[in-house]
Chain A
Amino acid sequence: MNKATPIALFLVVLLAAGGSFVWFVEQPSSTSNYSATYNSTKEIVLYANAIGWNYNSSNPNPTLYEKTHVLLEFKVIEQDNLPHTLTVNPGTNESTSNDVFNVNIPAVTGTIVWLNWSFANPGTYTYWCEVHPTTMVGRLVINASSSNGTNASAVPTMQPQSPSLVSYSNSIYQPVSSRDANDEVW
């Protein structure tokens, strides 16, 4: 046996095991994986339709004004049997490299995808669909929430321990008219 083989093998094992461990536990530093604490909730309904997130109104991609530390419950309803995503990233340009979250909407009309998220930092964000980046894109403006200020202790604060839930539910058998009231959106 070659003199160097055993020690090389030994070092390979140590380096591979140690290196992989470090790689596994190293967290991506840019984005936090957790949604922030919140003390109230707000539902936002979006329609996954290639024409726009609010497709049958004069303003198909409205700018949304929300607050930090509010659990935003995005309810995304698939409309046109086409694949879509709901992607949110900071800034006013579409970008996937530092997205806050990114979720697939199954291409089956009537499928509802819930995504719950609360923002820690105020700022302007972009919400868009990666499949239809020109027609399905809007701004999400997050303002600092006053209740998170000095008297925060007065409000019971929920502490989500784990990442917020993404749940799918299927409403395909529901009559369309009962859930298609577009005015419930904004």
Chain B
Amino acid sequence: MTLGLTFELAVFGSFIALLIVMGFLLYYFAVDYKRNLLGEVSSALPKKESNTVLSRMKRELSFSAFMMDDSKSIGIRYLITSLVLFFIAGLAGIGMRISLWFPVPSFLTPVQYNILLTAHGTLMLYGWATGSILGMAYYLLPSSVKLKNDSFGVVSSIMYWMFLVGSLFIIFSKSTATWYFYYPLVDQLTAIGGGQYSFATLIGVMLILIATTVSSVIFLRMIFFDRDPSIRLSNMSLFAWSVVSTAFLIIASAPVSIIANGFLIYDNINPIFFQAGNGSALGYAIMFWYWGHPLVYVAVIPAFGLIYEMLPRFTGTKIYSYKSGVLSLLMLMILSGTVWGHHLFNSGLGTVWDLIFSTTSFIVAVPSAISVFNWIATMWVGRVKLTVPMMFIINGIIDFIIGGVSGVMLADVGANQLIHGTYAVTSHFHFIFLGLTTGVAFAAIYVLFPTLSGGRNYNVPMAKVHFYLSTIGTIVMSGFWLVGGFAGMPRRVAGYFGIFQTYQDAAAVGGVILGIGFLIFLINFLYSAYKPVETNTSNILEEEVTS
């Protein structure tokens, strides 16, 4: 590693640090000033109570959220940030797709491809999936548990800034070590290794993980101690239950990854922890996937919760079975902590372990299926109103079934030897991430649109175009990946054998369609936000708390 710590650098560094500290001081003065400006509602009250009042109000999208630290404002901060990160990572993904049009690396060199690959994977998972979930939880929990005491403003705010700085570290590091910090590549700080600043990605991910873990503790506190007495656990909203499940999962597994990343950073200075020399290179992989698999469930369980909340409103019935919904969410929490070994089938854990992890992976399909059948039953007994969010939900369920089934196929030890490291894996999780995580997040954004925009309706035809383009894009891209993957098309390469060109080109078309779809979302947002106020700001996800 480059430890060129000269005197000038130290002086320069201290100067920057001083500026940051002063900036933060100014920031907190501004925050206080802003709070006083809110006048009637809040300035007369002590901060804690004014935050509670604020977090129960309906809130519009506004940059002043960055100056306030009640739960709803924090939620808006995360939603804005994660959306920006989604578009950054999405553009990187589309860039990769287009470059793969020709078998020989064309528009991107291998190093550039690997930078985009790492940035895409890391930002999508830690920035978009995790960030949007934190945002939804901060934004929706106060109304779904009728929060009676919003007391963690400062901590939440600091955690948000750590999240943001972490994302910036990831962007600036230009690491090429892939989203799971491929060892020992990640510690070779050269352009031909993990990238000169690949340790900065590690630091960034650590910051995000700390923010996520602390926020999870705050969510549990909100749900179990600060909810209104009128809400009993047995009738709490299923979204709140999904946050419980996610938060426990994060608290139980993220610290392991934080520690492992700390070891890796130390390895840059003195390589002693994860070395081929002492046989523990696999140790990092194990510690990573101990968190890595729960992470992918962290990205879907809150989406489950949002489906459980929105589905009944669009079918006009209650959810078919509340109890089995809770059961499924809690089972997902427990079981998805036990399957991480399925990412290491080919890494020499031993046949017995492989079979154990294969079995647990088959079992984890059960709670997922419980939820899916619950939704199908709800749609069956109710009358489906095909609004845009509902279309996203239905498509999310279908994509989840496709992705889930291919996941179970991947979990077969024998089959895994053939398709591990091919695009079949990439296809498996893009079906779920694009269809379920992203689709349902956008469904929720559409549902919240009247509230966030202060009483405007989104343009429905454009939203439908967004829906059709993004679903067709997903199915074309991931579908051809799946077929190509079973034919042996390797993933994570900047070029490929000519025989795979059909699949790659079709997938590139799918990727471009997807990109146009999300661009239309942006345009629709801009267009609709300037329409005259035409509706009231209520939505089905949050009720204004009046008690």
Nearest CB in chain A: distance from B60 CB, A: 5
Using C-beta atoms within 8 Å of the partner chain, give the interface range for chain A.
35 or more
When the two chains form the complex, which single residue of B88, B271, B278 contacts A104, counting CB atoms closer than 8 Å? B271
Inter-chain pairs besides A6-B530, A20-B88, 12 sampled, C-beta below 8 Å: A6-B525, A7-B526, A10-B526, A13-B83, A24-B112, A27-B109, A31-B191, A104-B268, A106-B276, A108-B277, A166-B188, A166-B190
Most chain A CB atoms below 10 A, which of B63, B109, B191, B270: B191
Establish whether residues B87 and A108, one from each chain, have CB atoms under 8 Å apart when the complex forms: no
Complex formed: what's the CA distance from A108 to B272 in Å?
8
* Chain B residues whose C-beta falls within 8 Å of the C-beta of A83 in the assembled complex: 269-271
0/1 interface trace, chain A 76-113, chain B, CB 8 Å (1 if under): 00100001010000000000110101111111101100
Interchain nearest-CB distance for A118 vs B (Å): 13
Can you list 10 A-B pairs, Cβ within 8 angstroms, ordered by A?
A: A10-B522, A16-B88, A21-B95, A24-B112, A24-B115, A25-B95, A97-B4, A103-B193, A107-B271, A172-B277
Is residue A9 contacting chain B, with contact meaning CB distance below 8 A? yes
Counted as pairs of residues, one from A and one from B, with CB atoms less than 8 Å apart, the total is 137
Give the nearest-CB partner of B116 in chain A: A24
Q: Give the nearest-CB partner of B83 in chain A.
A: A13
What is the interface of chain A, defined by CB distance below 8 A to chain B? Answer: 1-2, 5-10, 12-14, 16-18, 20-21, 23-25, 27-28, 31, 33-34, 78, 83, 85, 96-97, 99, 101-108, 110-111, 130, 161-164, 166, 168-170, 172
B171 near A23 (CB under 8 angstroms)?
yes
CB atoms of A101 and B192 under 8 A apart: yes
A1 touching B453 in the complex, CB below 8 Å, given contacts A13-B83, A13-B522, A163-B111:
yes
Quick one: closest B residue to A102, CB to CB?
B190
Pick from A25, A102, A106, A162: contact of B189, CB under 8 Å? A102
In the complex the two chains form, is A13's CB within 8 Å of B112's CB? no
Q: Tell whether B536 is near chain A: CB-to-CB under 8 Å.
A: no
Q: B91 to chain A: which residues have CB within 8 Å?
A: 17-18, 20-21
Smallest CB–CB gap between A33 and chain B, Å?
Answer: 4
Most chain B CB neighbours (cut-off 10 Å) among A28, A106, A108, A168: A106
Q: Is the CB of A168 within 8 A of B171?
A: no
Give CA–CA (A85, B188) in the complex, Å.
10
Question: Count of B residues near A, CB < 8 Å?
Answer: 53
Minimum distance in angstroms from B428 CB to a CB of chain A: 25
Do B277 and A170 have beta carbons less than 8 Å apart? yes
Which residue of the partner chain, among B63, B174, B277, contacts A23 with CB atoms under 8 Å?
Answer: B174
Asked whether B275 lies within 8 Å of A106 as measured between CB atoms, the reply is yes
Decide if A17 touches B88 in the complex (CB within 8 Å): yes
B319: CB under 8 A from chain A? no
What's the minimum C-beta distance from A172 to chain B, rounded to whole angstroms? 6
Chain B residues in the interface with A (C-beta under 8 A): 1-4, 60-63, 80, 83-84, 87-88, 90-92, 95, 108-112, 115-116, 119, 171-172, 174, 184, 187-193, 268-272, 275-278, 452-454, 522, 525-526, 529-530
Q: Residue A111 contacts which of B4, B62, B119, B275 (CB distance < 8 angstroms)?
A: B275
**CB closest residue in chain A, given B452:** A1
Instruction: Please give the distance in Å from B13's CB to the nearest CB on chain A.
Output: 16
Which residues of the partner chain B approach A9 to less than 8 Å between Cβ atoms? Answer: 61, 80, 525
What chain A residues lie within 8 Å of B171 (beta carbons)?
A: 20, 23
Q: A111: which B residues are within 8 A, CB to CB?
A: 275-277
Assess the B276–A102 pair: CB atoms within 8 A. no
Contacts of A101 in B (CB 8 A): 190, 192
Cβ of B108: which chain A residues have Cβ within 8 Å of it?
25
CB distance from B352 to the nearest CB of A (A): 26
Q: Which residues of A contact B529 (CB under 8 A)?
A: 1, 5-6
Q: Are A102 and B2 in contact (CB under 8 A)?
A: yes
Asked if A166 and B112 sit within 8 Å, CB to CB, the answer is no
For A96, the chain B residues whose CB sits under 8 A away are 2, 4
For A8, the chain B residues whose CB sits under 8 A away are 63
Q: Which of A24, A78, A102, A172 contacts B92 (CB 8 A)?
A: A24
- Chain B residues in 8 Å Cβ range of A5: 61-63, 529
